[in-house]
């Protein structure tokens, strides 16, 4: 039975006792596809050990699980084995919502979940991507013009970035997605949250739209090691734009490399990745994480081969 396989694997992990520290045990995990090289486990386990926890981070990678296993089975198995919760990444950030009992304000606004907490028999979904991107932007892009911003990608990550940009004082978001309906739906959500005219869906990504913008954010998977390239023609980017990318495998995407070369101000995806993990750690444990320590753990894992990962 598929659930028996999941329970057996998770129980074996829970029984491991090699984690440093003498405090309580915390068992958490990450659900996604193609996540074997995620840096999230290292950030969590190193921070947990530093805080005296027996902290174990388990991967639920559906690419290497028996075919046909469902989100419902994975969530139930994690609960049975005493997990405190799960991080959620591509492609399950929206789908998981149908299996939860409640959502935080951020998750409800974004319509996507990247952290699920199991507590008192309930499953509550949170979105730490929103805060992670907003805080990264506030810290690294102070003074950047933001009257008009082009956002590429209207999926779960794009929705988090859109709402984060609103929090950071964006004027108008111009949203482009290969799926025009998704772009239109996200633009409508942003206008509902921020007021009429705060977002527009772009039917096409052309030179005029880019030329009118102050900055551009890539919230698509294009640029990952497994999906190389740039999410728009590089010749559309001029030195007057600032460029942000949420991809962090590789740390410097082709988009960021080109932008640096022509003199653009840039924001890499590492800041969002570290800060969303720090906020998730707080949800899982109730403890305040040391962000610098988690950042060091993130960069220490940079020597791993960069071939398959999502923005988690």
What average pLDDT score do residues 211-228 get? 93
- In sequence order, what are the residues at sequence separation of 6 or more whose Cβ sits closer than 8 angstroms to the Cβ of residue 166? 173, 190, 193, 194, 198
Catalytic residues, by residue number, are 93
Q: Per residue in 152-174, pLDDT tens?
A: 999 999 999 999 999 999 999 99
Q: Where in the chain is the domain with CATH 3.40.50.10860?
A: 2-127+273-303
Q: Using the structure block, give the residue that is written with the tokens 């022509």.
A: 262
Report percent pLDDT > 70 for the chain.
89
Integer Cα distance of 307 and 296 in angstroms: 21
Most confident of 31-35, 264-268, 305-309: 264-268
| Domain 130-271, CATH class in plain words | alpha beta
Chain-wide mean pLDDT for the chain?
90
Q: Per residue in 284-296, pLDDT tens?
A: 999 999 999 999 9
Q: For 2-127+273-303, CATH number? A: 3.40.50.10860
Q: Where in the chain is the domain with CATH 3.40.50.720?
A: 130-271
Indicate whether 2 pLDDT > 70: no
């Amino acid at each position: 039975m598929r659930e028996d396989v999941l329970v057996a694997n998770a129980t074996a992990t829970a029984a491991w006792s090699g984690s440093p520290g003498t405090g309580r045990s915390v068992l958490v995990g990450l659900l996604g596809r193609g996540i074997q090289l995620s840096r999230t486990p290292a950030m969590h386990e190193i921070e947990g050990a530093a805080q005296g926890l027996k902290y174990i981070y388990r991967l639920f990678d559906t690419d290497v699980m028996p075919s046909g296993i469902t989100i419902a089975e994975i969530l139930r198995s994690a609960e049975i084995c005493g997990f405190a919760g799960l991080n959620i990444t591509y492609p399950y950030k929206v789908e998981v919502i149908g299996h939860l009992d409640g959502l935080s304000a951020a998750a409800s606004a974004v319509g996507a979940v990247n952290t699920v907490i199991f507590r008192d028999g309930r499953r509550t979904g949170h979105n730490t991507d929103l805060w992670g991107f907003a805080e990264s932007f506030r810290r690294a892009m102070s003074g950047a013009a933001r009257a008009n911003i082009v956002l590429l990608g209207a999926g779960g990550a794009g929705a988090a970035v859109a709402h984060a940009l609103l929090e950071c004082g964006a004027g108008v978001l111009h949203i482009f997605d290969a799926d025009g309906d998704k772009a239109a739906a996200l633009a409508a959500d942003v206008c509902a949250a921020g007021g009429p005219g705060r977002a527009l869906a772009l039917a096409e990504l052309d030179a005029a739209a880019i030329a009118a913008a102050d900055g551009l954010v890539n919230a698509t998977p294009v640029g990952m090691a497994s999906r190389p390239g740039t999410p728009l023609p590089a010749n559309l980017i001029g030195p007057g734009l600032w460029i942000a990318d949420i991809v962090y495998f590789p740390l410097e995407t082709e988009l960021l490399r080109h932008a640096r070369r022509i003199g653009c101000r840039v924001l890499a995806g590492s800041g969002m990745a570290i800060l969303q993990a720090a906020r998730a750690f707080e949800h899982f444990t109730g403890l305040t994480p040391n962000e610098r320590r988690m950042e060091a753990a993130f960069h220490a894992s940079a020597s791993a081969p960069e071939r398959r990962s999502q923005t988690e």
